[in-house]
Amino acid sequence: MKDIAIFGAGGMGRETACLIDRLNKSGESWNFVGFFDDGLPVGQPISHYGKVLGGIDVLNAWPHDIALSIALGNPDLVFKIKNAIDNPRVSYPNLIDPSFEIVDPETFSIGVGNIILQHCMVSCGTSIGNFNLLNGGVSLRHDVVVGNYNCIMPEVRISGNVEIGDCNFLGVGSIVIQQIKIDNRVHLGAGGVMIRDPKNGYLYVGVPAKAVKPL
């Protein structure tokens, strides 16, 4: 069994621990060793799954090979943490729930470090980059391209030929219609419907979604 840990001991971290448990029950063999978190004391128990092992400094000094999942619901924090890790013993597996549906495996590609929770699906010609979160019930239709460090919350619907860049946040139940291009650091609020290409660095809310403030 290969050792694995989670960076982030909040709710998303606990959900990811549940995912690892589901994966082990489906035939994978991870040895979960605990959580890394800069904001909690070493040894603090996190649910029944494990304890806090330390922060980024402890992780960077970890003496053994270890797989790591960065389980945070903030894309900027995921980017920051990933780029602060310099330990060559750390690897970044994809953690993908067994319920994940791929309509056309031959035209699907995925990078590393992604977390895909229950009941997500991708259609034909889709691509997912690195360190993305698909947080349950997410649907990506044909020819969707997702970049890196994006947090896509439960029940998001992304229509065909949409391009999503890096460090974006799509809130619960939001919708992106076909052929929209979302570049970098765009936040779409819960239930919002994106019908035009947004500007970088803004929060959009409503139906149709409109920019309300810079991030």
Enumerate the active-site residues.
Answer: 142
Break the chain down into helix, strand, coil percent, rounded to 5.
15, 35, 50
Whether residue 121 contacts residue 96, with contact meaning beta carbons closer than 8 Å, is answered with no
Ligand-binding annotation for 73, yes or no, is yes
Measured torsion, CA atoms of residues 80, 206, 139, 117, in degrees rounded to the nearest 10: 50
DSSP per-residue letters across 189-206: -TT-EE-SPPPTTEEEET
Between CA 47 and CA 140 the distance in angstroms is 32
Which three-class secondary structure state does DSSP give residue 15? Answer: helix
Reading the block at residue 165, the tokens are 């860049």
The alpha carbon of residue 111 and the mean position of all alpha carbons in its chain are separated, in whole angstroms, by 12
Between CA 201 and CA 204 the distance in angstroms is 10
| End-to-end Cα distance, the chain | 42
Binding residues for substrate: 73
